[in-house]
Structure 1
Amino acid sequence: MSEIEAAVLEPNAVVLAVIDGDTMDVDLGGRRTTVRFLGIDTPEKTGGYLPAECGGDAATRRTAELLPPGTGVLLQRDQELYDRYDRLLAYVYRADDGLFVNRYLVLDGYAGTMHFEPNTEHRAVLDEAQADARAAGRGIWADCGGPNRQLEGAH
């Protein structure tokens, strides 16, 4: 399902709030559910639970721009449904145009890939997007030298 961009999709959830670059709250069947985007990892934002990382605030802003409250999304699961924090694990597609949000964030340099077996359905697509972003020097590759770079003085 990774190459369906430009298609209109039937949403199965509605965005309530973006928490950070790779996590959001959605209305899923009338229930508030926290979703963790599969296959990617965005840098930690300022003021979160972990020390802030280079590009974290930009990634959070970009995800919020792509998925403002009220946006319909199609959540696609992989093998495991929840992570150890009880967040729903999903590949996220914007319903109005089919944008594969996980891939876009990697391709545009807001995220790096992060794969956990057995949730690897889109591994090749995401790895290709990361190689492209790195080669082109987009986002965290240009600004931070790559993902997971803690900000100076971050606690």
Structure 2
Amino acid sequence: MIIFVFTTISFFILPTLTAAHNGARDELGGHFRKADCVYLLHEPSSLAKTAANMDELIQLIKKYNSNSSCASGLSKENVDLEGYSFPNQNETGQKEVSTPSDNISSTEEPNDAIKLGTRYPAELVKCTDGDTAQFKINGQTYITRFLYIDTPESTNKIEPFGKEASTYTCSFLRSGNITLETDGDRVFDKYNRLLAWVWVDDQLLQEEITKAGFVEDFYDYGDYLYEDRIVSSMAEAKKLSKGMYATTVEEMDEIENRTVAIPDKTEEAVTDPTQTEKIDNNQKDESSETKEKNSEENGISDKVIIGLLVIVFLYYFIRRKNRK
């Protein structure tokens, strides 16, 4: 009778203890979920990381996991990487392939079609600031740095007269037909920006914005065709007190002290739809796991109760028999 009691206890109680455990991890850092034979790669080991793709990982699972019944029919759909990505692959599992632009060094020209000493009809794509804009030439868009001039900043930070310079440039570029002219000893700078003189109809933008008093300095890294015209325009702007030169030195110092930095937006909430979708999927997965755990716990509780009732029944049955 005692043997029968212990057998009953083992039948009802021990399965509840094993059911509470999801399975020991194999040498790859994962295990099969008993309910549906889905392989869960919890913590990829160095062995798992030797797999370059899903097919190689499946072969490793079949070799190193002892659950042959699940491993034998394992497919890609039944492997949950839990966020792990294979080496040289992105989150979607696709191998990353470098594009020609990825291989351009800072000293190489991104497009051989653009030559030095040549004029190109261009179309305005976007105004950036007083000395930078984006133009389209023959269907290709180029971030373009205007040759020779340097205007106050209005992007990463707002400097005195930065907004005025940006507004002047944008308005000027929309006033006529645009032509870009390459010059100097190189077509692109180290940031792969096109370097050019900017003509709007028959007017040179660099010359006009300098006359307006919105150029604070020159960058002279070579011999340029129109640098004498720009230097003369700067002298004229200062003489006529144009733009930033309309104030005294003391007033300029006071304005510079009020330079405003653009707020950092890196901590703003993520509004990328793909990120939102990932968050929703994660929440759904967590909800499913919670429901699964709850159902397992409920099943465990029922078995424990039944086991205890059987034990109580057997206890009273044995006592009653012994009294007889």
TM-score, normalised relative to structure 2: 0.40
In structure 2, the gaps of 5 or more residues are 1-118, 262-324
Q: 4+ runs of 1 displaced by more than 3 Å?
A: 143-146
Residue 74 of structure 1 pairs with residue 179 of structure 2: yes
Deviations 1:62-111 (A, max 9, x none): 11111139x5311111122111211100110013xx11111000011121
Residue 20 of structure 1 pairs with residue 125 of structure 2: no
Task: Identify the match of residue 59 of structure 1 among 155, 161, 165.
Answer: 165
Give the Cα separation in 2 of the matches to 1:144 and 1:22: 24
Residue 142 of structure 1 pairs with residue 246 of structure 2: yes
Q: Which has the higher strand share?
A: 1
Give the Cα separation in 2 of the matches to 1:151 and 1:30: 43
Alpha carbons 2:160, 2:259 under 8 Å: kept: no
1:5 corresponds to: none
Deviations 1:20-64 (A, max 9, x none): 01111111110111111111111001xx22x32110001111111
Q: Is the radius of gyration larger for structure 1 or structure 2?
A: 2
**One-letter code of the match for 2:199?**
Y
Give the Cα separation in 2 of the matches to 1:144 and 1:42: 19
Give the Cα separation in 1 of the matches to 2:243 and 2:159: 13
Higher relative contact order (CA 8 A, sep 6+): 1
Q: Which has the higher helix share?
A: 2
Alpha carbons 1:113, 1:130 under 8 Å: kept: no
Alpha-carbon distance change, 116 to 26 in structure 1, aligned in 2, over 3 angstroms? same
Alpha carbons 2:120, 2:137 under 8 Å: kept: no
Alpha carbons 2:120, 2:181 under 8 Å: kept: no
Alpha-carbon distance change, 151 to 53 in structure 1, aligned in 2, over 3 angstroms? farther
Identity percentage over the alignment? 24
Residue 83 of structure 1 pairs with residue 83 of structure 2: no
Task: Identify the match of residue 144 of structure 2 among 2, 13, 35.
Answer: 35
Give the Cα separation in 2 of the matches to 1:41 and 1:84: 17
> What displacement does 1:113 show?
4.0
> What displacement does 1:144 show?
7.5
Alpha carbons 2:133, 2:144 under 8 Å: kept: yes
Task: Identify the match of residue 205 of structure 2 among 93, 101, 105.
Answer: 101
Alpha carbons 1:15, 1:72 under 8 Å: kept: no
TM-score, normalised relative to structure 1: 0.79
Alpha-carbon distance change, 59 to 81 in structure 1, aligned in 2, over 3 angstroms? same
| Partner SS, residue 234 of structure 2 | helix
> What displacement does 1:130 show?
0.1
Residue 128 of structure 1 pairs with residue 232 of structure 2: yes
**One-letter code of the match for 1:76?**
E
